[in-house]
Structure 1
Amino acid sequence: MERNIQVLVVDDSAFMRKVITDMLNSDPRIHVIGTARNGEDALLKQKQLRPDVITLDVEMPVLNGLETLKKMMNEDPCPVVMISSTTKEGTENTLIAMEYGAVDFVAKPSGAISLDLDKVEKEIIEKVVLAAKAKLKQATPTKPIISKSLYQPFVKSQKQKIIAIGTSTGGPKALKDVITKVPATVSAPILVVQHMPVGFTKSLADRLNSLSSITVKEAKDGDLLENGTAYIAPGGYHLVLRQVESSFFIKTHLEEPRRGHRPSVDVMYESLSTISDIETIAVIMTGMGADGTEGLMKLKQTASCYAIAESEESCVVFGMPKAAIKTKLVDEVVHVQDIAERISRLV
């Protein structure tokens, strides 16, 4: 039998420490080996207890979650799941935490002390189990694996090119590695589906916009696509593309989640596969599961599409890219640090 995942729970609220501990201990795969009430306490307990995973509150006294995480990742890296509030400051800090190296986050349903935390019990357990398997250190890029000529789908074409990125666990950091390197002169719009709850995608867009030379915004229903702009699907909504004459518009909708996801990469890719006047560069990056694979199969059947998957060496979780690569429809497997350069060459 596998050894239990040893977890350290860090939160300044005694109530929250108890609730999170009880939730995690209810799963036979997990054992909470200790709790800490602030960042300094957490760093001490980490050294003493050597946990496999740490759950970390974003907002704490003495040493806050961000500073604690930064110290952990610099001195003694360990998979961390952030427990976040959905306030503006909470969402912004959560995204910085992802950049610092946190594997994932869970949003508290209602404020710092959430009496209804049981609503996200399944999510907390799943993310802790996943974090235990996550890879923290990115390897340096090796030569990309190319299965076809890099320029093969796009020779002498006047069609509108669209870059369509799908990602999940580890995505905010991967998106930062890609989007911030795309030049402002890129002659294509970028559509992004990142699995994230409502409220966080706006902060993600604002954060990336402040760091990038292209414009990055949370997509809105009716947005007219423009080159040099990245549109991030809003949390809780599917994002699809519609064509009116020679223009392309974003439509967001609330149809059923696909494989538990809304937004869904499959839904976005399928909508692109129905439009004959475009060429798609489909990019599937780090994430758990297989979202994007079915949509990629449709894109490859019906439309001009060049597919890039993030390589295992740079993924936090090699789920979504692995599923896509298995289809043998991926043209190139690339380290996250090189994806922006590939996109630039293709458009």
Structure 2
Amino acid sequence: MSIKVLVVDDSALIREVLSRMLSRDGDIVVVGTATDPIDAREKIKALDPDVVTLDIEMPNMNGLAFLEKLMRLRPTPVVMVSTLTKKGASETLLALELGAVDFVAKPSAEFEGGIEAFGAGLRDKIRAAAKSDVRGRAIGRADAPRMSIKTAAAPNGALIALGASTGGVEAIRTVLAELPADCPPVVIAQHMPAGFTNRFAARLDELCALTVVEAADRMPLVAGHAYVARGDYHLRVERSSGQLKARLAQDDLASGHRPSVDVLFESVARTVGPLAVGAILTGMGRDGARGLKLMRDAGAYTVGQNQATALVYGMPRVAFEEGAVVEQAPLEAIAGRLANALVRLKTAA
């Protein structure tokens, strides 16, 4: 079965480029294009696409306003096509909060890897979006209970590690927002390109009790803080002079990604061992499963997001099948599971 896509953009050139790129491998069919949200509304009704690509700046109705209406009235997988600017990054993160599955940055003249790399990335994101459960997520959000976590106090040297891909922006926000300010340092690998992770960290900082920053090389990792891997850099944890620190590097892609969840988790297993706790969240592919298994083998508590709440049950599924997780849990329960594991470590110490 081909994946049916509707391309929505006011630029004829972008509509042509996206249509050509999406049709390259034969498993994706562009069933139509639309010039603005009003045009898109009618074509969604007529063509029933599996996935919609959506620009933000368009005539007649802002793309964000259209997205909010679409997700409320007819939940449909949406991939945003964003400009790589500070304003564009902020609007893209808002789109993900409103229910968009993922985003791509519009290619520019200096786009690394060229237009072919852009097209390959876009097709992968469309395939992931087609497998996503946007309707289930909308229902799950409404029904999810909220439990207050009073403490996540842990012994010195403890650490929380989180990894995610497609759907992870919202999943990570959900977990971090539940964690209290007394938790140990949190390190995060989210598949996201350069130019967006700083704004992602700033947005999380606005919404969470924790202080959230984009990681910098050799930055000390301290309690009550969370550190987001910088786009296009691997994040590792090392111990130096008795202090946990972040290390950033641009060595080769790992598991097809930079930042890679595997790279982060492997460093946590090696450096922190049984004082770590980790969670693998929604995402397509298998990045993180190997690293999380190393964490579990080193004595860490590990949890995977369950299928019912994962927007894309790819990475958590592989981790579960390979024995990398101690247990699976609904997204809304993961912060509580991590906190309980940390309290047990504190008690044991």
How far apart, in 2, do the equivalents of 1:192 and 1:276 lie?
15
Q: 1:125 aligns with which of 102, 123, 126?
A: 123
Matched residue, 1:31: 29
Which residues in structure 2 correspond to 1:57-68 (within 5 Å)? 57-68=55-66
Letter in 2 for 1:289: G
State the shift of 1:99 in Å: 1.2
Aligned to 2:306: 311
Report the AA paired with residue 320 of structure 2: I
1:60-99 equivalence runs, <5 A:
60-99=58-97
Contact 1:160 1:277 in 2 (8 A): no
- Residue type at the aligned position of 2:341: L
- Give the aligned partner of residue 149 of structure 2: none
Provide structure 2 residue ranges, at least 5 long, that are not aligned to the other structure.
Answer: 145-151, 343-349
Pick the aligned partner of 1:177 from 152, 174, 177.
Answer: 174
TM-score by length of 1: 0.89
- Distance in 2 between residues matched to 1:158 and 1:76, nearest whole Å: 47
Q: 1:276 to 1:50 in 2, by over 3 A?
A: closer
Structure 1 residues 185 and 276: CA distance shift in structure 2, 3 A: closer
Q: Deviations over 1:286-343 (max 9, x none)?
A: 0111111111222233x33000100000111111111111122411211111112222
Query: What CA deviation, in whole Å up to 9, does each residue of 1:48-74 have, x standing for no partner?
Result: 221111111122222111111111000
| Gap regions ≥5 residues in structure 1 | 144-153
Q: How many angstroms does 1:276 deviate by? A: 5.2
Task: Give the structure 2 partner of residue 252 of structure 1.
Answer: 248
Tell me what 1:151 maps to.
none
Specify the SS of the correspondent of 1:51: coil
Please give the alpha-carbon distance, in whole angstroms, between the structure 1 residues aligned to 2:226 and 2:155: 21
Q: Is the Cα contact below 8 Å between 2:273 and 2:299 reproduced in 1?
A: no
Helix, strand or coil for the counterpart of 1:160? coil
1:325 and 2:320 matched: yes
| Deviation (angstroms), 1:205 | 0.4
Report the CA distance between 1:197 and its aligned residue: 0.4
Q: Which amino acid aligns with 2:223?
A: N
Tell me the distance in 2 between the aligned counterparts of 1:79 and 1:185.
37
Structure 1 match to 2:270: 274
Match of 2:331 in 1: 336
Moved more, 316-325 or 14-23: 14-23
Q: Percent identity?
A: 41
Instruction: Assess if the C-alpha contact under 8 Å between 1:17 and 1:35 holds in 2.
Output: yes
Cα contact 2:128–2:166 (8 A) shared by 1:
no
Which one of 206, 210, 213 corresponds to residue 210 of structure 1? 206
CA shift for structure 1 position 119:
4.1
1:167 is aligned with what amino acid? Answer: A
CA RMSD after TM alignment? 2.1
Amino acid at match of 1:185: D
The separation in 2 between residues aligned to 1:118 and 1:262, in whole angstroms, is 18
Which amino acid in structure 1 is aligned with residue 309 of structure 2?
S
Give the Cα–Cα distance (whole angstroms) in 2 for the partners of residues 16 and 276 of structure 1. 47
Paired residues in the alignment total 328
Q: Supply the distance in 2 between the matched residues of 1:318 and 1:277 (Cα, whole angstroms).
A: 26
Paired residues of 2:214 and 2:227 also in contact (CA < 8 A): yes
1:23-50 CA distance string (max 9 Å, x none): 2223311221211111222112211221
Q: Which residue of 2 aligns with 1:21?
A: 19
Q: CA deviation at 1:277?
A: 7.0
Please give the alpha-carbon distance, in whole angstroms, between the structure 2 residues aligned to 1:133 and 1:107: 21
- Distance, in Å, in 1 between the alignment partners of 2:116 and 2:271 is 43
Q: CA deviation at 1:159?
A: 4.8
